Homo-oligomer: A and B are copies of this chain.
Amino acid sequence: MTESAPHAHPVDPVRVTHARARLPDREEVARLTGVLSLMADPTRARILFALDLVEELCVGDLALALDVNEDAVGYALRLLRTAGLVVNRRQGRVVFYRLADGFPAPLRDDCLRRLAVLAGDADPGGG
């Protein structure tokens, strides 16, 4: 068995203790990774980008803007809506979506847009 017995002694007990004490709660991490998972899909990410740009779009136009079929958009919107990241407004047969009012502002300002820059700039994937 290769992994059953971890370290007999931690190599850096200080750092380990420090990390253990300050690491966010598992549930907290679950929330975080939940949001990140939502943003980690190309369709959903582009939906969020689009709604960040033009504030409001209906499902069909969203499909046009992203150049994907409505099924993909519909599924993506369902997840985003279930997670509370977007909200919808109904006008006749058409349903308009926009970023939720409670959409994490720092996430929107400091992450979403900046990540767009990072994506084309940093590219640490050269490893």
Residues of chain A touching chain B, judged by Cβ–Cβ distance below 8 Å, are: 2-3, 6-7, 10-12, 15-16, 18-20, 22-26, 28-37, 39-42, 45-46, 49-50, 53-58, 60-61, 63-67, 69-71, 81-85, 87, 94, 100, 102-104, 106-107, 110-111, 114-120, 122-127
A102: nearest chain-B partner, CB-CB: B124
Alpha-carbon gap, A118 to B85, bound state (A): 13
The A contact surface, by secondary structure, is: helix
Report the copy number of this chain in the oligomer: 2
Is the beta-carbon distance between B42 and A81 smaller than 8 angstroms? no
Q: List 21 A-B contacts (CB under 8 A).
A: A3-B70, A3-B71, A6-B60, A6-B64, A11-B61, A12-B58, A12-B61, A20-B64, A20-B67, A23-B50, A29-B49, A31-B119, A31-B125, A35-B119, A36-B115, A83-B124, A100-B127, A102-B122, A103-B124, A106-B110, A107-B115
